[in-house]
Amino acid sequence: MTAPVLREHTLDLIGNTPLVRLEGPSREAGCDIFGKCEFANPGASVKDRAALWIIRDAEARGELQPGGTVVEGTAGNTGIGIALVANALGYRTIIVMPDNQSQEKMTTLRALGAELVTVPPTKFADCNHFVHTSRRLAEETEGAIWSNQFDNTANRKAHIEGTARELWEQMEHRIDGFTCAAGTGGTIAGVGMGLKEFDEKCVIALTDPHGAALFNYYANGELKGEGSSVAEGIGQGRITGNLEGAPIDTQFRISDEEGLDWVARLLREEGLCLGLSSGINVAGAIALGRQLVAEGRSNPRVATILCDTGFRYLSTLYDAAWLEAKGLPVFPWLQTGD
Ligand code: PMP
C-alpha cells in the first residue's frame, strides 16, 4: 500500500495518479507492462490534466478573468475536466460535442452544470465541425476564452510537467518504452518530450486505431487513414499544434477487436473497468514490449495510459446490442443466449 497524502485543494486531486503493473499484458509481452491510472482523476479521465493546465495558462496570460467562460469542442472527456476545474474556480463552461459520442458523457456534462451544444459529426474541413463551432461560440460570448485543446500547447505541457515526471519517479528512473494513442496528441507528445529529457534512449511509440492518419504519417510521411474505429477520444487525421515536434520513434496500428479483447481481459482477469482507448493502448504496449525484447533489451519496462473509466461506456462497449450493431464481438458474459 502507498502512503496516503493530504491534498490542500480539490484541484490538487488532478494528477499524481497511481501506476500499476499489469499482470496479463506483462505475461503476454514477456516483459513488464505498466498502466498509468488516469481514470483515478476527479473527472475519471486523463483529460483533467489538460483542462487544468489550459485554464491556469489562460489565467496567467490574463485572458481568463474572474467570472469568465471557457468554451471547448470535445469528444467529452476534456469537457468534463473543464467543467470540474471551471466549477472549482468560478467560471462558466460551454461545451460543443459531436452527437455520436456516448450518452453517458452528455448526461455527465449536463449534470456538472456545463452548457452543452451538440452538432452532427462532420469532417474537420466542414465549417460546422465541433472544433470550429466552439471557436465561433467563444468569439460570440462576452468574457469567453476558447480553450482549443488541439492546438493549445498548454495541453501537452500538462504531460511534460506532470505525467512524464510522475512516470519517471514511479518507475524509479528506468523506463525503456512508452506508448499511447493520440486524440489531440497532448499525451503522446508531452509524455514523449518529458521522458526523452530524462532518458533519450526511452523509445516513444504511437499506437494508432484504425481509421486514423498518424500511423502512415510517422511510417512514411503520408497523412492517410484506412478503415475505422468506434474508439472515442482517439484517432487523429492531422498534425495538431500539440503533435508538432512529438518525438515518435516507432508506431503500431491496433484494431478495435484487439483493443476490446484487452478491455475484456483487464476487466475479468484484473478487475479494471476501462474504455476502449485504454485497451488499444495496452495492446500497443504489448507490441512495443515484444519489439524491445526482440531487439535484445534486457527486461524492458514499458508504460502506457489507462485513459478513462469504462463506466462512461455502459450503453456502448458494455452493451450487447450496441456491440452487435457495430459488428463487434460481444463479451461472453453479456451474451443473453437468445
Ligand atoms: N482516450 C480518451 C478516452 C480520450 O478522451 C482522449 C482525449 N481525447 C484520449 C484518449 C487521447 O488523449 P490526447 O488528447 O492527449 O491525445
Is domain 10-44+159-321 annotated with CATH 3.40.367.20? no
Average the pLDDT over 123-148 and give the result. 95
**Same topology between domain 10-44+159-321 and domain 46-146:** yes
Which helix or strand (DSSP H or E) is residue 69 part of? strand 69-73
User: How far does the centroid of ligand 1 lie from the alpha carbon of residue 307, in Å?
Assistant: 7
pLDDT at 42 over 90: yes
What does the pLDDT look like over 152-191, one tens digit per residue?
999 999 999 999 999 999 999 999 999 999 999 999 999 9
Which residues have C-beta atoms less than 6 Å from ligand 1? 45-47, 75, 77, 181-187, 232-234, 275, 277, 307-308
Could you identify the atom of ligand 1 that is nearest to the CA of residue 182? 16
Which of 33, 6, 31 has its CA nearest to residue 19? Answer: 33
pLDDT at 1: 55
List, for residues 200-245, the tens digit of each pLDDT value: 999 999 999 999 999 999 999 999 999 999 999 999 999 999 999 9
For the residues 111-115, what does the mean pLDDT come to? 96
Going from the Cα of 324 to the center of ligand 1, the distance in angstroms, rounded, reads 25
Give the separation between CA 276 and CA 255, rounded to whole angstroms: 10
User: Quick one: which H or E segment has residue 21?
Assistant: strand 19-21
Distance between CA atoms of residues 78 and 76, nearest Å: 6
Distance of alpha carbon 258 from alpha carbon 256, whole angstroms = 5
What are the tens digits of pLDDT across the range 327-337? 999 999 998 76
pLDDT at residue 2 is higher than 70: no
Of the pLDDT bands very low, low, confident and very high (cuts 50, 70, 90), residue 75 is confident
Residue with cell 469567453: 144
- Helix-strand-coil percent breakdown of the chain, rounded to 5? 45, 15, 40
Q: What is the pLDDT of residue 40?
A: 98
Q: Mapping DSSP to helix (H, G, I), strand (E, B) and coil, where does residue 233 land?
A: coil
CA angle 60, 55, 167 (to 5 degrees): 100
| Top mutation candidate among 234, 308, 313, 316 for ligand 1, by most atoms within 8 Å of CB | 234
Task: Record the cell numbers describing residue 173, joined without a space.
Answer: 528512473
Of all protein residues, whose CA lies closest to atom 5 belonging to ligand 1?
233
Residues with a known catalytic role: 47
Instruction: Decide if the complex's ipTM is over 0.95.
Output: yes
Ligand 1 centroid to Cα of residue 47, in Å, is 7
Strand partners for 118: 97
**What ligand 1 atom has the least distance to the C-alpha of 190?**
15
Type of residue at 290: R
For ligand 1, the distance from its centroid to the CA atom of residue 185, given in whole angstroms, is 8
Cell numbers standing for residue 176: 525503456
Please state, in angstroms and rounded to a whole number, the distance separating the CA atoms of residues 238 and 212: 9
Pocket test for ligand 1, best of 37, 45, 47, 278 (most atoms within 8 A of CB): 47
Q: Tell me the pTM.
A: 0.96
User: Looking at the domain covering 46-146, what would its CATH class be?
Assistant: alpha beta
Task: List the domain boundaries for the chain.
Answer: 10-44+159-321, 46-146
Task: Give distance in angstroms: CA of 221 to centre of ligand 1.
Answer: 23
**Cα separation, 13 vs 10, whole angstroms:** 5
